[in-house]
Amino acid sequence: MRENGPQDWSGFLEELHRVKVYLERSRPTAVNLSAALDRIEVCCQAMSSNTRPEEGLKFLLNEAGRLEAEDQLFCERIAAFGQGIIPARARILTHCNAGALATAGIGTALGIIGRARASGKDVEVFADETRPLLQGSRLTAWELQRRGVRVTLICDSMAAWTMKERGINLVLVGADRIVANGDTANKIGTYGLALLAEQHRIPFYVAAPVTSFDLKTANGRQIPIEERPPAEITSCGGRPVAAAGVRVYNPAFDVTPGKLVSAFITDRGIIRPPYDLESFRRAFV
């Protein structure tokens, strides 16, 4: 916005919309970013046509600060409400990263875990490495170590055996989008964990702020699933690890049916089944 330097308010709004569309395309599955961008654009559109571009830039920075503060508060509230699902001796399996590196605050799923550890609970976490980009090994394991939480890294394919042999008593993940029937989009591999948790009779929890809920979308079939470049799978650290020219299917997210989710831990409290539009609306009042 600064670099292109629109000369009047009309030009500012045009440039703002261009940037908004560009950013939205970077994260088509997650709803938080598009919701925040919509909020900013609507506010700017409601401002006087005599507004100077420099005033608009100041508003954007201030609004970004408000969004940051809101997210920090959401994380704190999720961490507080989430203590109700963490037993005194917790063996937790998590997937991808839902911590400080993914939020403006202490994180959602990892915020709950960190608060439980700080309160004196006996907490151990088993973190999926989360192929293909290894967010679990690169980010989650690192965050948990820094928080003093015992963490064991496992390959994604080890989750079922770990549930069976290591006494896992809950699965806790974040979310990129939750729709009106409880269907939940999250990092690829989450759906498989939910199925495994059901098989092993382990509760499967999703931690997310109200900004991750998309109640305009009826079900998970309507969630756009981002697909990423084949090189994420065929190479590692810049080195080829697959047969040259092999075909690749690389969806970055999957959708877990709401019926597999034991509860949503949100900044408004814990929401349990049944999940539908009205029950979510009542919870968010």
Name the catalytic one among 8, 38, 156, 176: 176
Rounded CA-CA distance 177/253 in Å is 10
Number of Cβ within a 10 Å radius of residue 37: 19
Are the CB atoms for 145 and 103 separated by under 8 Å? no
**Distance set, CA 250 to CA 43, 66, 69, 107 (Å):** 37, 35, 34, 26
Are the CB atoms for 262 and 204 separated by under 8 Å? yes
Return the ∠ at Cα 113 (arms to 111 and 119), rounded to 5°: 100
Sheet holding 269-271, edge to edge: 150-154, 122-128, 89-94, 170-173, 204-207, 263-266, 269-271
Question: Is 71 part of the annotated catalytic residue set?
Answer: no
Q: Dihedrals φ, ψ of 201, to 5°?
A: 55, 45
Q: Which residues are catalytic?
A: 176
